[in-house]
Amino acid sequence: MSNILDKIFAAKKTELEGTRRAVPLAEVKNKIGDQRAVISIMETLRASGDGSKIVAEIKRRTPFKGDLVEQFDPLAIARTYADSGASAISILTESQFFGGDLKFVEQASQEVSIPLLRKDFIFDEYQVHESRACGADFFLLIATSLDRNQLKDLLELGKEIGLTALVETHHEQDMEKAFYAGAELLGINNRDLTTGKTDLEISRRLLKETRGMGHLVLVCESGIDSRAQIEEFEELGMHAFLIGESLMKAANISDKLQEFTGHGKIQSAG
């Protein structure tokens, strides 16, 4: 029986076939020259500063929880994130299950001057070029759904065209793939993408696998909803936090983001 992650990738493969016919790869590559210069996510997250590094996510809905926000204006949200202390912005571009669109990245790249993550279910070289052509500065690779050679090839292609890959892991086998591929920006996702279940113990456990690897920039993904959690994981060695639902569902996105960075008043979780 296929799980939701398998269904998403199957749908994405079907969609990509149509996209290739409509927009040939040569046309995508030509569009890259129209984009602004890449902003380095590695330099951004390694830079010293007095606040926590938050990769704030723009996500309309999820297959697990449905719509997250009633009035969805991705460009306005991007501006709010940039103005409220986000180090980078993650933008869901998968349309069928998450309500995303590549144009959200393209529009944001013209409005904000912090790195943008193209967050999608990427398995093909076409999608890596597409990420650069829409103005992204880095892109997501989900180790669970890629074999280690495929992961390495896509990561290396990203480097060739100036993009860093955020390699997302969820268990020890994913970590082995990520290390083999040469990942430097390593995400630990506390959410099981096959079930939607979130467990912060995933990060606590997998962080032990990265001891002594000072070249890595580590990103905690999913399940963060309080300043106390951020402080705990920073003590354990996390460098940055990718946060979506807690921000999208907040009564005041700016206040919630500033709470997470450590620059705002404490809000109640929710």
Its pTM stands at: 0.95
Residue 110 lies in a domain: yes
Q: What is the mean pLDDT of residues 92-111?
A: 96
Residue 167 lies in a domain: yes
Position 78: which residue type?
A
Catalytic residue (one of 106, 130, 221, 259): 221
Residue 266 lies in a domain: no
Q: Is 57 assigned a catalytic role?
A: yes
Q: What is the mean pLDDT of residues 138-149?
A: 97
Q: Residue 156's pLDDT band (boundaries 50, 70, 90)?
A: very high
Domain boundaries, position 151: 4-34+41-261
Number of domains in the chain: 1
Catalytic residue (one of 52, 87, 90, 189): 189
DSSP string, 185-217: EEEEE-B-TTT--B-THHHHHHGGGGTT-TT-E
Residue 185 lies in a domain: yes
Residue 79 lies in a domain: yes
Q: Is 159 assigned a catalytic role?
A: no
Query: Is pLDDT larger for residue 165 or for residue 66?
Result: 165
Query: What mean pLDDT value characterizes the chain?
Result: 94
CB 184 within 8 A of CB 42: yes
Catalytic residue (one of 12, 53, 119, 152): 119
Residue 179 lies in a domain: yes
Q: What is the mean pLDDT of residues 1-20?
A: 90
Q: Is 184 assigned a catalytic role?
A: no
Q: What is the mean pLDDT of residues 76-103?
A: 97
pLDDT in tens, 21-58: 999 999 999 999 999 999 999 999 999 887 999 999 99
Q: Can you give the CATH number for the domain in which 103 is found?
A: 3.20.20.70
Q: Is 221 assigned a catalytic role?
A: yes
Position 258: which residue type?
Q
Give the count of beta carbons closer than 10 Å to the beta carbon of residue 27: 10
Q: At residue 268, does pLDDT exceed 50?
A: no
Catalytic residue (one of 12, 52, 53, 59): 59
Q: Residue 266's pLDDT band (boundaries 50, 70, 90)?
A: very low
Rounded Cα–Cα distance for residues 188 and 220 (Å): 5
Q: Is 119 assigned a catalytic role?
A: yes
